[in-house]
Amino acid sequence: MKESKSIKTFISVALIVLIWGIVAEMGVVSSYILPSPNKVIESFVKMVKSGEIFEDIYISYIRVLKGFLISTLAAFALAMMRVVFCKASGYYEGIVQFLKNVPPLSLISLLILWFGIGETTKIGIIVLTAFFPIYLNTVKGFTSCDKKLLEVGEIYGYSKVGSFFKIRLPYAMSDILVGMRIGLGYSWRAIISAEMIAASAGLGHMILFAQQMSRTDKVIVGILVIGVVGYITDRLFALVIDKTLKGSEKNGWD
């Protein structure tokens, strides 16, 4: 099953590369607009040898992890507050819903004005992007907890705290992890846009710089690297989810 899936993936990828190669070879479009696969591979190898690509990946990745960590903690804290102090949520729920509808990129000019073009701005963009899926899914996980299971805890003498850790939290775990997975994907998208606007290093900056230097081959290398790194991160996270959520139904993500 798994083997046939990877064979199918390989076939479709090979087909796309083949068509790309033929089109580039035919010279229908100029090599500036569509460089040949060979050229792209060549510049990829060059960038690997010089190590510059790893530096960019590393810089972008650290930013994503920082932003993702902050948004996870903030989302979890606010979601828990909503569960524990139901009435407190009225104070911030409206603001959260408002910010949810504001695209983080529209805030970038303000962020640059306030924090400069340093790390804070980029991480801020990631937090603003990743926070909402994590927060909303965590809240959903906590509030949709099966009342029937909570009653079991009540019968067996669990305190409110005990029932939170033994029933509510494990019950919400699948929603929390799905939210985190979406949040991680969003962070990865957001960092590239943020780096294209205000950065001197990282994958987004690398792509923009290559475009300004008319190096379309490097642009394509950048896009492919972003896709592959994002894909690997997502798979790793899916693996963690799979190991954590024993006994629950498959959620159809794989």
Partner 1 sequence: MDGIKLVNVGKYYTVKREQVKVLEDINLDLPANKITVILGRSGCGKTTLLRLVAGLETFEQGEIQATHVKRKAYVFQEDRLMPWLTVRKNITFGLKDKEIDHEKISGIIQMVGLEQFEAAYPVQLSGGMKQRASIARAFAYNPDFIMMDEPFSALDYFTREQMQKELLKIHHKTKCSILFVTHSIDEALILGDKIVILEKGIIKSEYEIEKDHERDLLSDKFVALKKQIMDDLKVV
Contact flag: residue 171 with partner 1 (CB under 8 A) = yes
Stretch that binds partner 1, among 8-16, 33-41, 154-162, 229-237 (CB under 8 A): 154-162
Count of residues touching partner 1 (by CB under 8 A): 18
Contact flag: residue 156 with partner 1 (CB under 8 A) = yes
Nearer to partner 1 (CB atom), residue 67 or residue 179: 179
Contact flag: residue 246 with partner 1 (CB under 8 A) = yes
Contact flag: residue 251 with partner 1 (CB under 8 A) = no
Contact flag: residue 140 with partner 1 (CB under 8 A) = no
Contact flag: residue 245 with partner 1 (CB under 8 A) = yes
The alpha carbon of 142 is separated from its chain's Cα centroid by a whole number of angstroms, namely 22
Which residues from 172-191 bind partner 1, rule CB under 8 A? Answer: 173
The residue within the footprint of partner 1, chosen from 154, 224, 228, 239 (CB under 8 A), is 154
> Do the beta carbons of residue 43 and residue 218 sit within 8 Å?
yes
Contact flag: residue 254 with partner 1 (CB under 8 A) = no
Considering the complex, what minimum distance in angstroms separates the CB of residue 235 from partner 1? 23
User: Cα(96)–Cα(109) distance, rounded to whole angstroms?
Assistant: 20
Nearer to partner 1 (CB atom), residue 140 or residue 166: 166
Residue corresponding to tokens 């792509």: 207
User: Cα(122)–Cα(67) distance, rounded to whole angstroms?
Assistant: 8
Alpha carbon of 136 to those of 17, 68, 79, 105, 176: distances in Å? 39, 15, 8, 20, 9
Q: Rule CB under 8 A: which residues touch partner 1?
A: 148-149, 151-152, 154-157, 166-167, 170-171, 173, 245-249
